[in-house]
Chain A
């Protein structure tokens, strides 16, 4: 479907991806993940600073949003529990994305040091290293209680059926595809400009709009957050789908946006590789 000759050797040709190839790539991610686990183990007590910081941030925003919704009219039409579902869905998706794509934060150093050349020379898809590069177990561990808290609050929403839950998780998956596309964009920008750190943090700051439903923002911002930088589709649409607030055309738009964005990110990546100038290795 996206079959291409190219420097990145990305080949998503339907019907030609063998199970052996898939298992090989999973095994490579497994090896990287084991290495990450060892690094995490070597951090000693400092790992607790990260965990405490992430927990403090989560708890702070949880009670801040709860207090805002209870004491103001910021979200008319939504209950306190539904407001928290928006925040929890955002936090859960953000945590999963960081667990998978933590390696992107280290890409700049690979480019400026020249070690990216060595990755391109390896007989596997470079995205396995520079995009995924093994699971971040700290975020993965935190995702588990987050998922439990999220499902607890989701189940408090009255009138939901199995179809609501299926739609919710499918839209979260759709959001994950959008997040993947954003991270590939950041990698492409990193090759063209070496500006990865600010680009990835801009992505994080923009997605923080998703802590609240898009309804609270002005019309112009809702448009930007849905169609220009589709963070709304990424983090808010899953909950809209859960609450039956999306029309069929919006589902189609969401799928089209995620597929289109992903395709565009791959094209930009291949374009950026043509302009890659190694720093020497």
Chain B
């Protein structure tokens, strides 16, 4: 049952190492982005013991953990789907007896694993260079909670990325939607800073959007959250996971009904 998808995993893995310089530059870029964010906060805490209610250990641990989880959650191959739709290549997947979504789950799995390994190497380099004092999870329950949040975050980003790419059914200008999604993620998903340092109305307003559930809450769960808050946040994560799945399926079916492309 999984044999066809395993082939996609193998092919995706091979494609990454076909252009080794490209692969190296991609990893270098991810490391530089993480390093810049870390250096800013490290500079803040060189001259202050606390900022925005966070201690140095808490904030630097947050930046490292969210950097790692962000690499896993946000990395995707789904941006290629838009081009496939526009050029008509998607018909090859539609005619095959395999699930299009499972194919992309398989290819995304490879992408995320490579990003995870690259992120770990980057984190080790940063720890060796800066030797920050870091915190661990208070208990194993926090790790379990973080994994559940992570699963929800992966589901949410997979579905949103798919919906953005599926705009290709109706327009060729996909990059505009993807750019806006990227900017919103950068601002409110909690990569550059924990979003609870924002003014309370803004923070609580963001809880009604899917973005905090991508990797902010997985990170906070890992570092430690009050149980009541965790349960409420988990409820939000599950609701958004379900909602994004429903929206993705709706957009997919609507797009296929209206889809046409130049003959192949």
Contact = CB atoms under 8 A, between A and B. Distances in A.
A142 to B, nearest CB: 14
Interface stretch (A118-126, A198-206, A247-255, A272-280): A198-206
Contact of B47 (A49, A60, A72): A72
A195 B20 CA distance: 10
A51 to B, nearest CB: 10
A50 B181 CA distance: 10
A74 B43 contact: yes
Contact of A53 (B19, B51, B179, B192): B179
A17 interface: no
Given A72-B47, A74-B43, A209-B36, A202 B25 contact: yes
A64 to B, nearest CB: 7
Interface string A189-203: 000011100110110
A26 interface: no
B176 interface: yes
Contact of A221 (B33, B39, B186): B39
A205 B36 contact: yes
A166 interface: no
A239 B51 CA distance: 27
A64 B52 CA distance: 12
A57 B26 contact: no
Say whether chain B's binding surface is mostly helix, strand, loop, or mixed.
helix
Interface in A233-279: none
Contacts of B173: 43-44, 46
Interface string A212-239: 1000111001000000000000000000
B121 interface: no
Contact of B187 (A60, A74, A194, A206): A60
A221 B193 CA distance: 22
Contact of A205 (B32, B52, B192, B193): B32
Of A71, A72, A193, chain B has the most CB atoms within 10 Å of the CB of: A72
B179 A198 contact: no
B176 A216 contact: no
B21 interface: yes
A56 B183 contact: yes
A206 to B, nearest CB: 6
Interface in B162-186: 171, 173, 176-177, 179-180, 182-184, 186
Nearest to B186: A57
Contacts of B171: 46
A14 interface: no
B39 A74 contact: no
A68 B44 contact: yes
B39 A198 contact: no
A208 B187 contact: no
The 9 closest A-B pairs by CB, nearest first: A198-B25, A46-B176, A49-B176, A46-B173, A73-B47, A53-B183, A216-B43, A53-B180, A205-B32
14 contacts: A49-B177, A49-B179, A53-B180, A53-B184, A68-B44, A72-B48, A73-B48, A74-B43, A195-B25, A202-B28, A205-B32, A212-B40, A212-B43, A216-B43
Interface of B: 19, 21-22, 25-26, 28-29, 32-33, 36, 39-40, 43-44, 47-48, 51-52, 171, 173, 176-177, 179-180, 182-184, 186-187, 192-193
